[in-house]
Structure 1
Amino acid sequence: MRTGLIAWPALQPSGRFAARLPRAVLSALKPLLCLLPVVALFAPVPALVAAALMWTGVAFGTGHWSSLPGHVPLCLFAMAALAALLRSRVPGRPLRVLLMLVLLPVPPVVGLWLPRAHLPGPPGADGWERTLLVGALFALAAAALLFTGSERWGPALGSALFAGALAGLVQFQRGPLGGWWGALILYAVLLWVTLILPWLHPKPESGATQRRSAKARIV
C-alpha cells in the first residue's frame, strides 16, 4: 500500500511549466484516484468496512442515504473492494465470475438507486449529536484504513481521531448539509489518510540495514 501511494508522483507528467497544472490536479485527486483503488486492491475487507462507515457518515451529514457527490465515489470504492475480495477468496473462475455478476450491482442498486426511490433519510439529530455521530463514523472509517498493515498503533489511533475531528469540524453544529458538503467531509478525511498513511508504514530495510540488525541481535 505504501509503495502504491509513493509511486503516484511517478505517473504524473514531467516538466517545469506546462506540467504544473496537470501535476496539481493529479495531486489533488490522489485521495480518490490512488488511495481508494490501492486500499480496495490490497485490503478489500477493511476497505468494505471503511466504505460502509463513510457511507453512513455522509448520509448523516447530508440527511440522505444516497447523496451523489459523496456516495458515488464510495460506491465505486465498494465495488472495487468487493471485486478484489471475490478474486482473492473464491476459487474457480466460473464461480468467481458468477458471483461478480450477481454481487457487483448490489452497491449501486441498494446504495444509490433504492434509497433515492423508496427510502427516507436517516433519523434526524440536533447539531451536536449529528456532529459527534459524523465525527465518530469517519474516525472509525479512518482507523479501518490506517490500521491496515501498520504496527504503529498509537500514531494510527491518533491519526484516526484527528480524521474524525476534521469531519466534525466541517459538520460543526449544523443540521443536514448539501451533497457537496458531504463530499467535502469525505475528501478531507481521505486527504488526511493519504498524507499520513505512508508515514505509518516505515520504509523497508535495505540489505545493509538488515545485516546490521542481524549482527546486533547476534551480539
Structure 2
Amino acid sequence: MKKSIIAAVILSSLSAGAFAAAPAGITDGEHDVTSATLEWNAKIPTVMPGKWVTITGEAKAPLAAAEMQVNADGSFTSEPVKMEVHYYDSSTNVINEGVIVNAAPVSGETAASALKYSVENLTFASSKGVDLTTLVGEIKEGGKIVTPGAKVDASGADAWKTEWTINNAMGEVMPSVTAGDTITATTVVRADVDFVVTP
C-alpha cells in the first residue's frame, strides 16, 4: 500500500508540473512549423601576425585607417596608411625592432635576407548601398603603383617602413556620389620575409 501511494504521488506531480499543456485553440489535425537560423561569426583581426614578424602602424602603434577624399566627379585619392614590419615573438606577443634586410648579423645569428610586399585587389563598399563592385583603384607604395598579386622586392635600410595610398585608376570613377555616404576601400597587404643564418 505504501508503494502504491508513493507511485500515485509521483505520477500526479509529473502530470501536473512536468508536462506542459498545449496552448489553447489547437484542434485535431492542426499542423505547425518552427525554424531557426544558426550562425557562427569570426571577426578576423586587422593584423594577423606571423611567428617571427608582424605588421604595425607607425612607431609600433596599431595599424590605423587613413582618410579618403571623394570628389564630386567620382574620382578619389587618399592620405597614406603608414605601415611597418617588425620582428615579433609569438610566444610572448612582444613586438621588437624593424626588419632590416641584409643587416650585418654576428656569426651564427639569423637575419632577414629578403622582404617582399604583395597586395590584393581593392574592394569598395558604400554605406548607402551604391554598387561599387566593378570600381577599380590603384594601390601605391611610396608613389609607385603596386600590381595586385605581384610580389615587390623591398630593399634598403628603411624598407620595413612603408606608406600606402590609393586613387582611382585612369578613367575609373565612382558611379554615384551621394551626400552622407561613407565609402570604404579595403585591401590586404602581405609582407613575406626570408631569413638566413650567417656562417
Structure richer in helix, relative to its length: 1
Of structures 1 and 2, the one scoring higher in RCO (CA 8 A, sep 6+) is 1
Structure 1 or 2: larger strand share?
A: 2
TM-score by length of 1: 0.26
